[in-house]
Chain A
């Protein structure tokens, strides 16, 4: 029986789709059978990030409305045998999918896949409700900005209210240099507010932009820092223990030590 994981954030543009593509591809690279579902109807992106846009014939709405069989809508990845994408509809009514539809869909996919990764749209409307409907676990993505953290907090509350207990956190686009200067929230501050387990920290990395444009997830790029971060996150998703990537940021202990010694921190 597979596991359904929803990737969500509240705030838009913080890296849900990037995270979905990279964790999904990372899991497939580890030999898992994985399907990615794009639930961002009308603003789909995951197909582009995965480089699969030109293969789309049927989409999520076609499946829920019975225009095609589920198998027909699953697009096989070009790199990994066990990786599939169920794209969102781009030109159809986004109210065509209900939370019940998603539940049924996830149940069906669970039979055949190890992991079902659901890319959630921004916001807390119907799209969000659909995305979380069939999920067993949730990963919340945020960036080190007060507004993103505020929205992540709201989302965590909603997830818990919907019986998705103990979501895990991915902090994306961290800039070590800015944190050092005190110009960016540091990891401890965020964990302090959100009080959930940290799954990983992804640095700001221009390689992400390049790989997004090329349709090749950075997790496959051995030279990319963000790629390394996503490889580690993937392993943690599989419940393996991996130490946090050293991003040259100050850990709580170092900070406390400095404060004790009377240094600025």
Chain B
């Protein structure tokens, strides 16, 4: 199949990417495709990205954003139909099992392209990417993972339907409160200093732990 397809539907323009193609080539293809279809695009400068069975990592999202920006385009949201392949802990009862399956099969990713301010909240069954900050008093609740490309100072709840494998990533992770599945941790009461590198929170041995993202990658 073609590595890049451009389609329109009710929601807007969808750029369907085949990630079996290497990413740099994919980006070149996107450039060519958009240029050939520029008239078709018109004033509609926000497009939807569909990544099929794959999930983009944060580097890829960044690169893609850059490429599209050079074409004067923005990303409305990124969706994928990926089923996450990983071992799910043995569910304790069937009720929980249904909920887990629901959250894992709901593979769509919601892209939030703004700062979430106090009183604003986002709920989504799949994974949420926030290209901005989550301020104190704001809240993101996701069935899947939460990635914050800015400063997380508010509340984030990943794996809200009970998925203990969910993670919360933030370039600056300084939440008021963090929840993963049914576990809750809160900020220390004494003033905490802003971290100077990206961090990742996940459940390990029944506890929420926070570690530097650079160390996590090496694991």
Contacts and interface: CB of A to CB of B under 8 A. Distances in A.
Given A54-B189, A55-B186, A91 B176 contact: no
**Chain B interface secondary structure, helix, strand, loop or mixed?**
loop
Contact of A57 (B121, B137, B184): B184
Interface in A44-82: 44, 51, 53-57, 78
Contact of B139 (A53, A55, A91): A91
Interface of A: 42-44, 51, 53-57, 78, 90-91, 215
B187 interface: yes
A91 B137 CA distance: 8
Contacts of B189: 51, 54, 78, 215
A154 B57 CA distance: 58
Contacts of B136: 53
Contacts of B96: none
Interface string B173-187: 000110000001011
Nearest to B155: A56
A117 B136 CA distance: 25
Contacts of A57: 177, 184
Nearest to B185: A54
Nearest to B141: A91
Contact of B119 (A51, A53, A90): A90
A53 B120 contact: no
B118 interface: yes
A57 B184 CA distance: 9
A96 B119 CA distance: 15
Contact of B118 (A51, A56, A90, A215): A90
A91 to B, nearest CB: 4
B139 A54 contact: no
Interface in B20-35: none
Contact of B176 (A42, A43, A54): A54
Given A90-B119, A91-B138, 7 more contacts: A53-B136, A54-B177, A54-B186, A54-B189, A56-B177, A91-B119, A215-B189
Given A90-B118, A91-B119, A53 B184 contact: no
